[in-house]
Structure 1
Amino acid sequence: MAGNRAVVFTKPGEVEVQDIQYPDLVLRDGPGVNPLNVGRKCNHGVVLKIVTTNICGSDQHMVRGRTTAPSGLVLGHEITGEVIETGSDVEFIKKGDLVSVPFNIACGRCRSCKERDTHICENVNPDRPGSAYGYVDMGGWVGGQSEYVMVPYADFQLLKFPDKDQAMEKILDLTMLSDIFPTGYHGAVSAGVRPGSTVYVAGAGPVGLAAAHSAQLLGASTVIVGDMIEERLAQARSFGCETVNLKEHSNLGEQIDQILRAPEVDCAIDAVGFEARGHGDDSGHEAPATVLNSIMNVTRAGGRLGIPGLYVTGDPGAVDDEAKEGTLKIRLGLGWAKAHTFVTGQTPVMRYHRDLMMSILSGRAQIAKAVNATLISLDNAPEGYREFDGGASKKFVIDPHNMVNYS
């Protein structure tokens, strides 16, 4: 039996690479596994040899201790791999296939899945609709920042790359299909971006940069990205975005006016989420409703707000008791008065990943360049977490088996 190593959350601020159980086609008991999921048979699943697996900002929320994630949780929901074992019920996916794994786990059988809402599958998480690999309160499915991982419902979920050699040449782009590229794209689609739109993106982390690139692909005339870290803003400028340093400027509308000659945009995207901070002189203080309120301020009446940024129902490190349970001081009256449309929640990855794959393979999408994809080994994952938490403008891609050409 082969071994297996993985990135494991141990305590707030720390992850370790540890030996874990080699996967089989059963969901075993372990940290974070819902008791109702223990022993769940997955003959519809496959075992993957991980080719690439990415560190996500959502992982960082757990590592910072801002969720109820248990010690020992195996991290990682952004997974690309080679099929090395198939369950008896798998008909179409074959050994040797190179595939992208949507981070949402979806059965393909429930009402939500049949309506293409695979982000709120009703059968994979006993706590509530929606699930993901290696994530708190998501059913306990083992994460994929590892050498090997089990993926259920393979025929329904997996996106097979049509040519393995071509895929490996573009693997730094294709690895983004499991989450951040569809998530950024969903943010832009939800915000109603269309040819000629002016767009504000809050946050220049990987999802924000993916949203900005997606807005460009959708035909936006101007994409403005706001952040407090100059290195990340420089990355946004590297592919044609305008930028606003929110640490230096408190009045976002004035900054947008200097760029557009108008203080409002057509639509906006929140790629920050619940760990937002104040702007300008208040940038040293956490203020979780800041982004939501600011994008309502600067989005025109009748505009749409795409909100792929993560908001949680349990945040032990929040600034007050209300925020600890996800209750934020949002100016809903302003949004009502301006007739805004809000779109929130996980991204239904399967709604977008095939089209985005074709955009990558054709050369139209350059997502790895946009997010500054940076390869690291599995052993270097803890340092990658530390560097990413410090604000590095990089999307860390873990290569557990040294399968990717580093040149």
Structure 2
Amino acid sequence: MSGNKAVAYVEPGVVEIETIDYPDLRLHDGPGVDPRNVGRDCRHGVIVKVLASNICGSDQHMVRGRTTAPAGLVLGHEITGEVVEKGPDVEYIHEGDIVSVPFNIACGRCRNCKERKTGICLNVNPVRPGSAYGYVDMGGWAGGQAEYVMVPYADFNLLRFRDADQAREKLLDLTMLSDIFPTGFHGCVSAGVGVGSTVYIAGAGPVGLAAAASAQLLGAAVVIVGDLNGERLAQARSFGCETVDLTRGAPEDQIEDIIGEPEVDAAVDAVGFEAKGHGKDAHEAPATVLNSLMSVARAGASLGIPGLYVTEDPGGIDSDAQSGSLKLRLGLGWAKSHSFTTGQCPVMKYHRELAMAILHDRVQIAKAVNAQIISLDEAPRGYEEFDKGASRKYVLDPHGALQRFKKAA
């Protein structure tokens, strides 16, 4: 094959469908590729025919111009597909396998990978620990919002579904395994969510909704979701969450109305660095969520922070925000003996168990995040609507593998 349609970042607010080279088992030069990675041989890799690839809020940060992403970067780190070619060093993955691709790229050999910290692999990104497909400063691995993508270290990275037919039947749910479901789950686990917990989740975007579904799966007694977007709050209520309307102000009083006290057992930040303040006409205030979580989390609680924070934000509200320096009330967190967990979710730590929960109908994650299937060519519309606050998780369908779910709907 000679061509491969893909979604590329052009400039702030603009993505386009481009035809790029069909992938092979080598990392080539291109937008965002670190020179030290150019020519990297991937005999351990496979070529995946993309059956589903999702638009993520992290992608949206780049498309808004809030990172240093270069023009021409092929987007997409949420990938589920079929293996169509494998490298000579791949032993356990085979052509025809249906697989989930963790958004973390991990070698499986370094100290961090051996400690299950696959979000900060030491060998795949010359810039800093950790890598991902189609993302700024992550080494330059091509993204998966495309027809085909190369996946390195396949034996280690890929989650293979034993029953390919069953996987295709559950594909719309299983596509959430590459990122947002494990990420939301990781936020809850990091926050100490367990049976009988009261939980506050800041943000009702797809990751926040995935975190809410995860909290329910973990046995939380009450799951409260806060947001400024009424449509997204309605989506949270659709599967049994309580909600806090942050256009009415800070969350404490509304939380007290729900559970009888203003503090919760566990708190999760599913917003990240583009946070806004509280109130009807709130403006951007990037430390708002972190500071409010310290206010609403009880003494001794843990805070899970799967929301993205960056080291460079060209659109930051001031020079501190532009370098990722936020005005945190760390004294409050210290006084309440809070613990914080940040960083990329180590997807492989959770994805097999979460896949079993999906395959055995313990959770309907696609319904919780309001998955909407669109074609690859419709990706620019998906980005535009998502940027305007649509309460949908856009799932790209490059090869028509998801059409059965559209008919069912």
The residue aligned with 1:268 is 267
The code of the aligned residue for 1:165 comes to D
Answer whether contact 2:26 2:41 (CA < 8 A) is retained: yes
- What's the CA shift string for 1:336-391, capped at 9, x where partnerless? 00000100000000000000000000000110010011100000000000011111
The residue aligned with 2:229 is 229
Match of 1:371 among 354, 358, 369: 369
- What's the CA shift string for 1:7-35, capped at 9, x where partnerless? 00000000000000110000000000000
Calculate percent identity across the aligned residue pairs.
Answer: 72
Match of 2:360 among 356, 359, 362: 362
The code of the aligned residue for 1:187 comes to G
The residue aligned with 1:314 is 312
The residue aligned with 2:326 is 328
Answer whether contact 2:250 2:292 (CA < 8 A) is retained: no
Give, in whole Å, the separation in 2 of the partners of 1:281 and 1:376: 32
The code of the aligned residue for 2:14 comes to E
Answer whether contact 2:53 2:145 (CA < 8 A) is retained: yes
Give the alignment of 1:61-72 within 5 angstroms: 61-72=61-72
Answer whether contact 2:101 2:158 (CA < 8 A) is retained: yes
Deviation of residue 250 (structure 1)? 1.2
The residue aligned with 1:339 is 337
Give, in whole Å, the separation in 1 of the partners of 2:372 and 2:123: 35
Match of 2:301 among 300, 303, 309: 303
The residue aligned with 1:252 is 251
Deviation of residue 281 (structure 1)? 4.6
The residue aligned with 1:28 is 28
Give the alignment of 1:107-118 within 5 angstroms: 107-118=107-118
Give, in whole Å, the separation in 2 of the partners of 1:20 and 1:325: 33
The code of the aligned residue for 1:251 comes to A
Partner SS state of residue 269, structure 1: strand
The residue aligned with 2:120 is 120
Partner SS state of residue 377, structure 2: coil
Deviation of residue 197 (structure 1)? 0.3
Deviation of residue 40 (structure 1)? 0.2
Give, in whole Å, the separation in 1 of the partners of 2:355 and 2:296: 33
Deviation of residue 3 (structure 1)? 1.7
The code of the aligned residue for 2:388 comes to G
Task: Report how many residues are paired.
Answer: 405
> CA, structure 1 residues 330+282, in 2 after alignment: closer, same or farther (shift >3 Å)?
farther
Give, in whole Å, the separation in 1 of the partners of 2:168 and 2:280: 46
The code of the aligned residue for 2:269 comes to D
- What's the CA shift string for 1:117-165, capped at 9, x where partnerless? 0000000000110000000000000000000000000000100011111
- What's the CA shift string for 1:278-300, capped at 9, x where partnerless? 001551x1000000000000000
1:144 aligns with 2:158: no
Give, in whole Å, the separation in 1 of the partners of 2:325 and 2:8: 30
Answer whether contact 2:97 2:160 (CA < 8 A) is retained: yes
The residue aligned with 2:400 is 402
- What's the CA shift string for 1:86-140, capped at 9, x where partnerless? 0010001000000000000000000000000000000000011000000000000
Partner SS state of residue 21, structure 2: coil
Give the alignment of 1:277-296 within 5 angstroms: 277-281=276-280, 283=282, 285-296=283-294
Deviation of residue 211 (structure 1)? 0.2
TM-score between both structures, scaled by the size of structure 1: 0.99
The code of the aligned residue for 1:295 comes to L
Give, in whole Å, the separation in 1 of the partners of 2:233 and 2:242: 9
The code of the aligned residue for 1:155 comes to D
Give, in whole Å, the separation in 1 of the partners of 2:281 and 2:150: 45
The residue aligned with 1:16 is 16
The code of the aligned residue for 1:191 comes to A
- What's the CA shift string for 1:180-235, capped at 9, x where partnerless? 00000000000000000000000000000000000000000000000011110000
Give, in whole Å, the separation in 2 of the partners of 1:7 and 1:170: 25
The residue aligned with 1:183 is 183
Deviation of residue 251 (structure 1)? 2.7
Give, in whole Å, the separation in 2 of the partners of 1:215 and 1:377: 31
Q: Is there any run of 5+ residues in structure 1 with no aligned partner, and where?
A: none
Give, in whole Å, the separation in 2 of the partners of 1:216 and 1:376: 28
State the Cα RMSD in Å: 0.6
Give, in whole Å, the separation in 1 of the partners of 2:281 and 2:317: 14
The residue aligned with 2:379 is 381
Deviation of residue 2 (structure 1)? 4.0
The code of the aligned residue for 1:392 comes to A
Give, in whole Å, the separation in 2 of the partners of 1:90 and 1:125: 21
